[in-house]
Amino acid sequence: MKTTVAQTPSAKGRIGRPQRPIEDPTLSIGEALIRWCAPDAVSRWRSAFQDLSNFRFERRLEIEIPKPETLKNAAALQALWTMNERALIAQCDRAHATLQNDLRWQLANGALFAQGFLASDGFDAERVLLPGARAGDFVLDPFKSIVVLGQDRYLSVAISRRPLAPTRTAPNLPKHLPDRAQPTPAPTLTMDTVANLEDDVLLKVVEVYLDRIAASPDAKLKEPGKFSLMPFVARKMRDRAQKGELLPTITTEAAWLEQWIASKIEGHPVPGAKNIGKVLGKEYALLKAQSNAATVLAEK
């Protein structure tokens, strides 16, 4: 007896039509960083971002529903929060930079391909294949999916595992660039231009200056005029706390800080030990408690 095998019709009654092969996905720069970069680098970035998010959430709770001790030590806690947030942001930046370096490495070695539209071509722009050999020079904007290469700016950049048959290929060495793309020089700051800086930029300049003075034993302060020297003293105290160098009492610590700031600038009045102790006393107590706790944990 002959057995007949019934064919199961596909959708809409079509039988035996070959299936279209699944194409490799095309991702934006940000998506490619998460899906195609090294798993351990992705994990470190996720962890760093989660740490920053948790810190900001807990700080918000402390501000909206403050405890008595929070209100009592508000100034010291604010300084500590600022320092901790800055450290967590730096941790996120480092983890994200590692992801970007891994993506550049894959582009340079042909594991991935980048294509986009050259902005200088205007409305007639065609999709071009970015030169993987120069991936080390790519300046990536993962949020807008933009790549800057020397003076060239590529928009709507797509990352794929195989080239998408672009209209043309961008040259490895554009004629208007030297052998290696040179970054656009930063504008020179002068006494006139500093006054016009945005507040966030100006604050960053001050923070860098504070870090330089606190970290270098040879750095000298410029004549500050009416500028308060107390932020420099506070920054140095925090730096000493991180290194476990705080003296046993605020009196002895303030005296040390007075001598330190006096060594940084000559011929100008500096905060006295009494004033330093009065202004930084609460923050010193908090930093000293944390330093002592860290020492106890280390000894265990």
* Segment 89-102, tens digit of pLDDT: 988 899 889 989 99
Helix (H) / strand (E) element for 34: namely helix 29-36
Mark whether 145 and 54 lie in a shared domain.
yes
Listed residues 169, 202, 224: the one ending a domain: 169
Mark whether 230 and 279 lie in a shared domain.
yes
What CA–CA distance (Å, rounded) separates 153 from 139? 9
pLDDT higher than threshold 60 for residue 40: yes
Task: With respect to residue 60, please indicate whether it lies within any of the assigned structural domains.
Answer: yes
Q: Give how many domains the chain has, as a whole number.
A: 2
pLDDT tens-digit profile of 230-243? Answer: 888 888 898 888 88
For residue 197, what are the domain limits?
A: 191-299
Task: With respect to residue 183, please indicate whether it lies within any of the assigned structural domains.
Answer: no
CA 223 from chain centre, in angstroms, equals 32
Listed residues 169, 200, 233: the one ending a domain: 169
Q: Which of 32, 44, 24, 26 is nearest to 142 (CA)?
A: 32
What pLDDT does 203 receive?
A: 57
Mark whether 291 and 213 lie in a shared domain.
yes
Listed in sequence order, the residues at least 6 apart from 104 whose beta carbon sits closer than 8 Å to its beta carbon are 135, 136, 138, 140
pLDDT higher than threshold 60 for residue 8: no
**Do 70 and 62 touch, CB atoms closer than 8 A?**
yes
pLDDT tens-digit profile of 28-37? Answer: 998 999 899 9
**Do 139 and 148 touch, CB atoms closer than 8 A?**
yes
Quickly count: other Cβ atoms within 10 Å of residue 126's Cβ: 10
What CA–CA distance (Å, rounded) separates 260 from 218? 11
Mark whether 154 and 196 lie in a shared domain.
no
Stretch among 128-137, 164-173, 280-289 having the lowest mean pLDDT: 164-173
Task: With respect to residue 270, please indicate whether it lies within any of the assigned structural domains.
Answer: yes
pLDDT tens-digit profile of 142-201? Answer: 888 899 998 889 988 999 988 766 555 555 544 444 444 444 555 566 656 666 666 566
Percent of the chain residues past pLDDT 90, beyond the cut: 18
Mark whether 35 and 158 lie in a shared domain.
yes
Mark whether 162 and 204 lie in a shared domain.
no
pLDDT higher than threshold 90 for residue 251: yes
What CA–CA distance (Å, rounded) separates 156 from 158? 6
Total H helices, total E strands in the chain = 9, 6
The H-assigned helical ranges of 109-165 are none
